[in-house]
């Protein structure tokens, strides 16, 4: 396992254990609270990505990070992948804050999904024809199709309010962050 991915997984697991030990205090201090809630603090733009609702939430995010991020880290190196992941986490937070402000939502946001969605976007851009096999239903599809469909589903669920309790717009913000970083990289001359 590449070092950045290993470090992110270890940090998320340790944060999850700390979250369980601290209880509600962890959510009060480190979850991403909407601006109007009176609980928002600037550090939450990053710390929310290390909190998870339960073991399954943590497991799915870390599995996705390992599955898609490991290959990107081998291709780009830890520094570039870290930049893509960090920008995606921040972009996801900003989009989520904007949406919760417009909707008047007071619930906090937690989870590494925004960063993971940026990684998914990067994977689809670098390996567009790589086959990804869905679990349910078991349908193989190219990475670019998988990420495009996933984005359309997230947008649909977010706009319709279906699957309440999931930060669909944070996921879309993560995709946006991945797109912004890769777009910038494509404008820069190659290193060397």
- Please name each of the domains of the chain with its CATH number: 3-187 (1.20.1540.10)
pLDDT at 185: 93
Specify the range with the lowest mean pLDDT, choosing from 64-68, 99-103, 163-167, 173-177: 163-167
- Per-residue model confidence as pLDDT tens digits over 10-35: 999 999 999 999 988 999 999 999 99
Position 103 confidence tier, pLDDT thresholds 50, 70, 90: confident
Token pair 């920008």 in the structure block, residue: 87
pLDDT at 191: 61
Q: Which one-letter DSSP state was computed for residue 132?
A: E
Average pLDDT of the chain is 93
Q: Where are the beta strands (DSSP E) in the chain?
A: 131-133, 140-142
Q: What is the rounded average pLDDT of the residues 120-145? A: 91
Answer whether 48's CB lies under 8 Å from 108's CB: yes
Q: Which residues of 79-115 are buried (b: 16+ CB within 10 A; e: fewer)?
A: ebbeebbbbbbbbbbbbbbebbeeeeeeebbbbbbbb
% of the chain residues with pLDDT over 90: 81
* Position with higher pLDDT, 104 vs 143: 143
- pLDDT higher than 60, residue 182: yes
Position 190 confidence tier, pLDDT thresholds 50, 70, 90: low
Q: What is the rounded average pLDDT of the residues 45-71? A: 96
| Helix axes 168-187 and 78-103, enclosed angle (nearest 10) | 140
Active-site annotation, residues:
113, 171
Q: What is the rounded average pLDDT of the residues 109-127? A: 97
pLDDT at 183: 93
């Amino acid at each position: 396992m590449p070092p950045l991915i290993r470090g992110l997984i270890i940090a998320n697991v340790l944060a999850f254990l700390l979250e369980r030990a601290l209880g509600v205090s962890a959510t009060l201090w480190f979850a991403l609270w909407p601006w109007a809630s009176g609980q928002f603090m600037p550090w939450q733009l990053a710390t929310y990505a290390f909190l998870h609702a339960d073991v399954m939430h943590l497991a799915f995010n870390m599995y996705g990070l390992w599955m898609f991020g490991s290959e990107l880290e081998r291709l780009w190196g830890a520094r570039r992948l870290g930049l893509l992941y960090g920008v995606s986490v921040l972009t996801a937070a900003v989009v989520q804050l904007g949406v919760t402000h417009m909707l008047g939502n007071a619930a906090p946001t937690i989870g590494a999904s925004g960063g993971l969605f940026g990684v998914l976007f990067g994977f689809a851009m670098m390996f567009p024809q790589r086959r990804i096999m869905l679990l349910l239903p078991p349908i193989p599809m190219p990475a670019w199709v998988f990420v495009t469909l996933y984005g359309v589903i997230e947008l649909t669920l977010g706009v319709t309010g279906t699957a309440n309790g999931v930060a669909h717009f944070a996921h879309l913000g993560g995709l946006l962050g991945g797109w912004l970083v890769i777009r910038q990289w494509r404008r820069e001359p190659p290193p060397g």
